[in-house]
């Protein structure tokens, strides 16, 4: 598409969200609190902890017991997904529509989450899962590269 015919695509606010599968969610929570000053923003259950540095968001997800042997032997992937923060739920929907039109693989369609966030998941060319996320505690923050 030519520059003149190009439609504006909402690009989001950056790479501010990472989700990890972990072998011991309590130990990992303590590690990120101790060494990186992350604080817990939401702990909905014993298997999930959501943390923040104030501008970045880290999700820790307990690996299910039945899947643990694969991870302990170095075969499992601890990266659950990457997340790109968007400025509003509407910008999530706009990007979703453009991605669907382009034929990009959708993993999960848009939905509202228990914590007030709104997102969808897609796969990159190598099938790395990417979450396009409006997150109410991070999305309102203005970052230095924004105009």
Instruction: Check: CB of residue 111 under 8 Å from CB of residue 118.
Output: yes
Output the pTM of the full model: 0.68
Superfamily of domain 14-134: 2,3-Dihydroxybiphenyl 1,2-Dioxygenase, domain 1 (3.10.180.10)
**pLDDT the model gives residue 94:** 94
pLDDT in tens, the chain (147 residues): 445 545 566 677 767 888 988 889 999 999 889 877 889 999 999 999 999 988 888 999 999 999 888 877 666 677 888 888 899 999 999 999 999 999 999 999 999 999 999 999 998 876 778 899 999 988 888 766 555
- Rg over alpha carbons for the chain, rounded to the nearest Å, is 17
Instruction: Check: CB of residue 81 under 8 Å from CB of residue 120.
Output: no
**pLDDT the model gives residue 74:** 63
**pLDDT the model gives residue 39:** 95
**pLDDT the model gives residue 144:** 60
Instruction: Check: CB of residue 91 under 8 Å from CB of residue 51.
Output: no
**pLDDT the model gives residue 37:** 84
**Positions of E strands within 1-147:** 14-22, 39-45, 48-52, 57-62, 79-85, 106-112, 118-123, 129-134
Q: Which residues contact 56 (CB under 8 A, 6 or more apart)?
A: 16, 17, 18, 138
């Amino acid at each position: 598409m030519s520059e003149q015919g190009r439609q504006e695509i909402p690009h989001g606010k950056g790479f501010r969200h990472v989700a990890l599968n972990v072998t011991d969610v309590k130990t990992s929570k303590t590690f990120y609190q101790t060494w990186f000053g992350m604080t817990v923003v939401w702990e909905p259950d014993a298997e999930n902890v959501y943390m923040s540095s104030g501008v970045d968001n880290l999700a820790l997800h307990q690996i299910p017991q039945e899947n643990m042997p694969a991870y302990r032997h170095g075969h499992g992937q601890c990266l659950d997904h990457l997340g790109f923060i968007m400025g509003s739920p509407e910008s999530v929907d706009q990007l979703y529509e453009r991605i669907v039109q382009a034929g990009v693989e959708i993993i999960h369609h848009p939905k509202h989450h228990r914590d007030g966030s709104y997102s969808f998941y897609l796969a990159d060319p190598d099938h790395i899962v990417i979450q396009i996320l409006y997150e109410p505690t991070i999305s309102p923050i203005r970052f230095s590269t924004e105009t």
